[in-house]
Amino acid sequence: MKNIKKLGLIASILVLALALLASCGGGSSTSDSGSEGGDADKTIKVAASPTPHAEILNAVAGTLEKEGWTLEVEEFDDYVQPNVATTDGDVDANFFQHVPYLDEYNAQNGTKLVSVAAIHYEPMGVYAGTKKSFDELADGDKIGIPNDATNGARALLLLQDNGVIKLKDGAGVTATEQDIAENPKNIKIVPLEAATIPASLPDLALGIINGNYAVGADLKISDAIATETEDSLAAETYANVIVVNEENKDSEKTKALVAALQTEEVKKFIDDNYAGAVKAKF
């Protein structure tokens, strides 16, 4: 009888101990995971180029905060790592590229990144070198254009729009120098690294420069001889977009980010800060 009472007491103690252990362990686990999950769910991480992309993003941090979101912007100076970080899930989105670049990246890497919103475009401009207008161009003058395929085609289209050259029929956003059908002044097209064209202007009759590099070189878009217009093929094709993994295109984070960016306040921020070198595309 005494042994039975002892066994009963021991069993009661074990049950109580297990209950306390379960309570402590379960309560701690629920609290930690709930806290971490809540913080992670309300943080939007975006990879971006410094100018103007990160600047535009940082301008909406306060708007997102009012909606209960924390925005974290990670800046990158290259055009590969933002997509890698997005694919790997290190960030929720990126903002630095246009759709043709995105399509090429997906094709080359087997990724499924998608554009969810166009935010702005950076009009390419023609800037004076030794000549101050198209009318001053003489036979054999040199015009510098970006040496990458995408921006080189944009530059050629811009020259065509202003009567300097004529391209073959059908030569659109994939145009190359081989597509030049007419060149009445025998202009020499000089492909250069895009970032170096501003410094090369003294050696060129004219230089065609991307908006971001114009801003970096303290060139004003208002000083350009000509620019891509808002309804141009280039403006439609090369708008800079927010990119996410395909499975996240309809997520709450994605919707919140796009809603914060596509506002009249952001349009005003762009107009006030970039003097036409960056234009809203929404």
CATH code for the domain of 255: 3.40.190.10
The three-state secondary structure class of 145 is strand
**Residues of the chain falling short of pLDDT 50:** 1-39
Please report whether residue 265 resides in a domain: yes
Question: Are residues 218 and 260 both part of a single domain?
Answer: no
CA distances from 207 to 122, 178, 221, 239, 249 (A): 16, 20, 13, 22, 39
Provide the residue range defining the domain that includes 77.
43-122+238-280
Please report whether residue 164 resides in a domain: yes
Q: Which residues contact 120 (CB under 8 A, 6 or more apart)?
A: 52, 56, 239, 240, 270, 278, 279, 280, 281
Dump pLDDT digits (tens) for 46-101: 999 998 999 999 999 999 999 999 999 999 988 899 999 999 999 999 999 999 99
Nearest-angstrom CA–CA distance, 240 and 266? 14
Number of structural domains in the chain? 2
Specify the pLDDT at position 40. 58
Dump pLDDT digits (tens) for 226-249: 999 888 888 889 999 999 999 999
Question: Are residues 117 and 141 both part of a single domain?
Answer: no
Q: Is 140 left (phi over 0), alpha (psi -120 to 50) or beta?
A: left
Answer positive or negative: Cα dihedral of 51, 53, 54, 58. positive
Specify the pLDDT at position 272. 95
Specify the pLDDT at position 29. 33
Are residues 93 and 243 in contact, defined by beta-carbon separation less than 8 angstroms? Answer: yes
Nearest-angstrom CA–CA distance, 272 and 200? 29
Question: Are residues 69 and 48 both part of a single domain?
Answer: yes
pTM: 0.72
Please report whether residue 3 resides in a domain: no
Please report whether residue 33 resides in a domain: no
